[in-house]
C-alpha cells in the first residue's frame, strides 16, 4: 500500500546568477527521489532523473552549483516523460511526498501549467523545511546542509544534486519521525 512509503523529492532547475535571461524560464533539469519506508524509517530507492530543458539552457553558474552540464542534459528525458515515470515507477499520484521547502512543489506546478503536462503528484505534500524549523521552535528556515549539521547527520553525496539531496532530506525526515516532530501534510 502506498501509505507505507513517502516519496522524498528534490529538484534542480536551470538557474543564473542574477535574473533569468529573456525568454528562459527556470526548468527542472533533475528530479531526485528517495523512498522512505514509513514502518522502518529506512531510506531506499535513491533515484536521479535527468530532464532535458526545452525553453532554457544550462548556465555556467548552474553547472558550478549542480555539476550538471548542458551536454549531460541533452541526453536526458523530456519533462512529460519524467512525470510519467514518477507515476508508474513511484506511485507519485497516490503516495504522500515531501520536499525541503515549497520550491519543488511550486516548480512542478508552474512547469506542468506551462507545458500542459499532467501534475504527477497527489495532494499530500509536506514541507520538510517547515517541519524541521517547527521542531526547533523557531520561525527560522534552515537550508538542508545546515539542518544536517544541527541534526548531527553527515552530508552524503554532492549538495545540489537531486538524488543526493533527496537521500539527505529523507534522513532528516526519518529523524523528525523518530522524535515525534513530523506531521504529514494534506
What's the pLDDT at 130? 95
Tell me the whole-structure pTM to 2 decimals. Answer: 0.96
Q: What is the pLDDT of residue 3?
A: 72
Q: Rounded distance, CA 168 to CA 88, Å?
A: 24
> Nearest 5°: CA angle at 176, between 49 and 156?
45
Q: What is the pLDDT of residue 186?
A: 46
- The list of the chain residues with pLDDT below 70 reads 1-2, 185-186
Q: Which residues of 85-118 are buried (b: 16+ CB within 10 A; e: fewer)?
A: bbeeebbbeebbbbbbbeebbebbeebbeeeebe
Taken in order of first residue, the domains within the chain and their CATH numbers are 2-178 (3.30.420.10)
Query: What pLDDT score was predicted for residue 184?
Result: 77
So what's the pLDDT on residue 144? 97
Residue 138 is predicted with a pLDDT of 83
Beta strands, E only, the chain:
5-13, 28-37, 43-50, 97-99, 125-127
What was the pLDDT predicted at 148? 98
pLDDT of residue 1: 42
Residue 185 has what pLDDT?
66
Amino acid at each position: 500500500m502506498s501509505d507505507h512509503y513517502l516519496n522524498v523529492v528534490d529538484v534542480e532547475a536551470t538557474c543564473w546568477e542574477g535574473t533569468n535571461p529573456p525568454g528562459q524560464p527556470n526548468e527542472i533539469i533533475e528530479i531526485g527521489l528517495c523512498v522512505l519506508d514509513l514502518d522502518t524509517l529506512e531510506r531506499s530507492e535513491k533515484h536521479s532523473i535527468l530532464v532535458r530543458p526545452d525553453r532554457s539552457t544550462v548556465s555556467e553558474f548552474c553547472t558550478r552549483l549542480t555539476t550538471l552540464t548542458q551536454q549531460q542534459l541533452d541526453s536526458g528525458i523530456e519533462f512529460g516523460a519524467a512525470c510519467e515515470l514518477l507515476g508508474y515507477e513511484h506511485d507519485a499520484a497516490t503516495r504522500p511526498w515531501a520536499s525541503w521547502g515549497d520550491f519543488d512543489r511550486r516548480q512542478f506546478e508552474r512547469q506542468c501549467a506551462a507545458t500542459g503536462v499532467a501534475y504527477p503528484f497527489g495532494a499530500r505534500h509536506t514541507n520538510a523545511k517547515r517541519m524541521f524549523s517547527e521542531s526547533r521552535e523557531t520561525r527560522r528556515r534552515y537550508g538542508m546542509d545546515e539542518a544536517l549539521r544541527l541534526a548531527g547527520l553527515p552530508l552524503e553525496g554532492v549538495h545540489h544534486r537531486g538524488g543526493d539531496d533527496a537521500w539527505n532530506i529523507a534522513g532528516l525526515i526519518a529523524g523528525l519521525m523518530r522524535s515525534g516532530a513530523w506531521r504529514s501534510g494534506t
